[in-house]
Structure 1
Amino acid sequence: MKKQFLIKKPMNVHFRRELMVLVVPIALQNLVSATVISADVFMLGMISQSAMSAVSLAGQITFALTLFYMGMSTGAGILTAQYWGKKDLKTIQRVLSISCMFSFCISVFFFLFSFLYPGMLMRIFTNDDELIRYGARFLQMNSFSYLAMGISQMYLSVIRSMENARLSAWISSACLVMNIIFNAACIFIFFPGRSELAISGVALATVCARFIELGCCVVHSVTRGSIRFTLPVHDGIQRKLLKDFFKYTMPVQGNYIVWGGALTATAAIIGHVSADMVAANSVSSVVKNLAIVLCGGIASGGSVLIGKYLGEGEIEKAKHAGNRMNVYALIFGALAGCTILLMKPLVFLMVSLNAMAQHYLDGMLYVCAYYCIAKSMNSTTIAGIFTAGGDSKFGFWCDAVVMWGIILPLGYLGAFVWHVPPILLFAMISLDEIIKLPVALIRFRQYKWLNNITRTFAET
């Protein structure tokens, strides 16, 4: 017993050190990303509540596109992490080219739709003419950022899965900080008090930042990167790898679409309840995303390590890592909830909301504090541990049943049939993580996620 403890203790220390090397940069990147979104919301909120709400609703289109990026980058990350465990750079190079090809095609589709039909898209989320006008203006200009975003996100995901999280965080964070600076200049210096021009300036700042980010990725790939941007190669190896890519990416992609589509639908429900609730929900979402950045770092960093261990054939090591990650997820989820409650006074000082919106926001932040614990646990198990081992179908079926079978019908009934108070409605549509938690933990203890999914390719 004592010998077993001595073996596990160095293993825990080593895993903790490896995890923190990945978690800190990824959490920093998530923090900066969430800060950019929050900066947009808070700075526009200083101009007008309508401008803030419109950009928040227009951001649902970017969020929908991001879901595709998240699915493809997760699929690419699954394969990259395991082939990184085998140190197979040639296969990782092929994974990058496949993921970039698909992400660019989807980016072009979203760009054309957002540029040509912004007003129609805004009407999905609200029937308020002012919000539609402001949101369409933002969406049309912001659509150009999609053309750069897809390629850069795939590259950053792949190098992060090769345990180069610091570089990924540095490129992403530097460009996002530039975005904040550009936004502040547009809102407070060039167009103070002029809502429509400020919204256009914020969109243009986002476009500039995304193209700078892509430029940094290209320069690194050409000068110092171990992988390059190349066109896909058509041969037998590529066909097998493409089959694996679809096998592990499509369930994750479906999971993100089902989950994100449900969130977009709940945003549409909220958008048709009241403009005050939209404003309060915009702020509460920002605060919640800021609070859980470290939880996302645990899920992403841990999944890279588990994928690497499985690729190396270290099954017991991966199993032990998964158990430790769940403990960390619980701790950081509780800390995130406490952070939200501590941030409340500061939030009310920073945003200009009317009395009713402030009342809604106060109740929503209490709901978010409890939500964070379950969210942290589920993100770590479903989006991190399970996908790292190729068990990507569970998340899809779990979200399909919970979000579309329970939460959305409950939200619709609460809003349009029962006419429950807005804060109770928000609590009802935030039950998804609570419902999923016990199911995810049971699945975790079955250890069906412990799979080595790599192939040994013979180059011809």
Structure 2
Amino acid sequence: MSRISTMDMTQGSIRKEMILFAIPLLAGNIFQQLYNTIDSIVVGQVVGPDGLGAVTSVAPAINTLVGFFMGFSTGASVVVSHFFGAKTISDLRKAVHTAIVCTFLLGILLMAFGYFVTPPLLVFMSTPESVMPLATTYLRIYFLGIIGLMMYNIGSAILRAVGDSIRPLIFLIITSVLNIVLDILYVIVLHQGVAGAAYATIISQFISAFLTLWVLFRTDDCYSIRFKELTIDKPILKQIIKIGMPAGIQMAVISFSNLFVQGYINRFGESSTAGWGAYGRIDAFVMLPMQSIALTATTFVGQNAGAGNVDRIKKGIKEALFLAAICTIALVIPEFFAAPKMVSLFNGDPEVIKYGTLFIRMNCFFDILCCSNQTHAGVLRGVGDAKAPMYIMLSSFVVFRQIYLFIVSHLTTSIYPISIAYPAGWLVCSVIMLIYFKKSNWEKRVDINYS
């Protein structure tokens, strides 16, 4: 295959390149989000509130265990993008093969660990008794297929690092449609409930992994995979870990912190659990544009850092912040007004709709705060500074948020202050991240590391 599938972001119109790169990335993230959302809608309508709560409440548990790998994937993407921008093909190939081998080994480990740790995780989250059996079934099946998700994510991270966000999108479209078909087959036709939804998801994820790896093995481009080169290069692995481990720790610990948030919500009953799950699925789509733009910024900054283009990076930061803010504002307004109808897609129970609408309307306008912290964190990772975003996000999303929840839960029995634990942490994070970014002298890091 030709290099036309990649994008060199070190030259040309910044806004145009960001938009062209972010649109397929955003579409891909939307279709990836559809995996769990379709599961939730089908299960919520067919099985009921308990099934909806089971499928949605396990997200923090999944993200806690997968978080370390997602950080590794981020680190691999940054390292590959640096080598791609600097045109050091030999090191780029070592990074690609090291990432693939390590991901496979981590996938095997996580599959076994996740299966056996499921019951204590759900107990820790104060999962309602009526939801516990269904949640256990769904989570265990999900972890048995987790290697498919991991291989797709590392493969797509490699493709994005060299500027190819089109083919990961195509694969997600294919497998998302397949997931819908399998959900209907397993849940509605074969009456397998939450187990059927889990099987539909992992089968689709395995196919997306196969398609992504097929491209990497078949291409003749510089990022191709060859069996004879599948080995772990220790110096390259150290670079990936140096960047990826802080992000991985951050993602895992923040997700672990969200287990506490889920636990507080679960105390108000299965309707609250289901409503919170519907809110999470809906608001996740609103968050996707800013997250896609933040990932675009990481690739953009990584390539330009490799080329030593500090001035271009500065212009790219402004464009990324502008695009993220505009997209988020355009989405939260209709989300606020259409909240009841959107929640009813998941389940028609009046109590579930009441809680879901409450959570959406109390939180959605605060999503704009994440535009700053997500974009600046992406930029810092792009220049190789992964530790600072980790420390800032951990202090905001974990330490501050848990102190906040502990205090308000002892001051009142109302669900209202509990429900705004997320935006409280977002606000603190955005303020600290912006202050650090202004004082970090990230330009010197580019000059020292890539000049």
Task: Specify if TM > 0.5.
Answer: yes
State the superposition RMSD in angstroms.
2.3
More divergent stretch after superposition (63-72 vs 353-362): 353-362
Counterpart residue number, 1:78: 78
Counterparts in 2 of 1:118 and 1:240: CA distance versus 1, 3 Å: closer
Distance 1:178 1:436 in 2: 38
Tell me how far apart the structure 2 counterparts of residues 121 and 428 of structure 1 sit (CA, whole Å).
21
2:56: which partner in 1? 56
Paired residue secondary structure (1:130)? coil
State the partner residue of 2:121. 121
Contact map agreement 2:325 2:371 (CA 8 A) in 1: yes
Deviations 1:293-346 (A, max 9, x none): 211221111221111111111111111111221222222222232232243243
In 2, Cα distance between the equivalents of 1:318 and 1:448? 13
The equivalent of 2:199 in structure 1 is 204
Q: Residue 446 in 1 paired to residue 439 in 2?
A: yes
1:128 positional shift = 2.5
Q: Does 1:35 align with 2:34?
A: yes
CA distance in 2, matches of 1:65, 1:436: 23
Secondary structure of 1:253 counterpart:
helix
Amino acid across the alignment from 2:431: P
Q: For residues 129 and 225 of structure 1, what CA distance do their matches in structure 2 show?
A: 54
Q: Cα gap change, 1:229/1:342 in structure 2, threshold over 3 Å: closer, same or farther? A: farther
Larger displacement relative to structure 2 (116-125 or 43-52): 116-125
CA contact (8 A) 1:70 1:256 kept: yes
> Which residue does the alignment assign to 2:251?
256
Local SS of the residue matching 1:185: helix
CA-CA distance at 1:353 after TM superposition: 4.6
Unaligned runs of 5+ in 1: 1-10, 192-196
| 1:407/1:429 contact within 8 Å kept | yes
Matching residue's letter, 1:313:
G
- 154-163 or 337-346: bigger deviation: 337-346
* Letter matched to residue 61 of structure 2: I
Change (3 A) 1:89 1:367: farther
The yes-or-no answer on 1:100 pairing with 2:93 is: no
> What SS is found at the alignment partner of 1:128?
coil
Alignment correspondent of 2:176: 176
C-alpha distance in 1 between matches for 2:76 and 2:58 = 28
SS in 2 for 1:129: coil
TM-score w.r.t. the length of structure 1 is: 0.88
The alignment's TM-score, normalised by the length of structure 2, stands at 0.90
1:401 aligns with 2:395: yes
2:5 matched residue in structure 1? none
Deviations 1:258-312 (A, max 9, x none): 2222122211222234222211110111111111221122111122111111111
- Count the aligned residue pairs: 436
Distance 1:255 1:117 in 2: 20
Partner of 1:333: 328
Look up the match of 2:361. Answer: 366
1:102-251 → structure 2 map (5 Å cutoff): 102-191=102-191, 197-224=192-219, 226=221, 227-228=224-225, 230=227, 232-233=230-231, 238-251=233-246
Runs of 5+ unmatched residues, structure 2: 1-9
Identity of aligned residues (%): 14
Cα distance in 1 for partners of 2:236, 2:212 equals 24
Alignment of 1:420-431 (within 5 A): 420-431=413-424
AA matched with 1:68: F
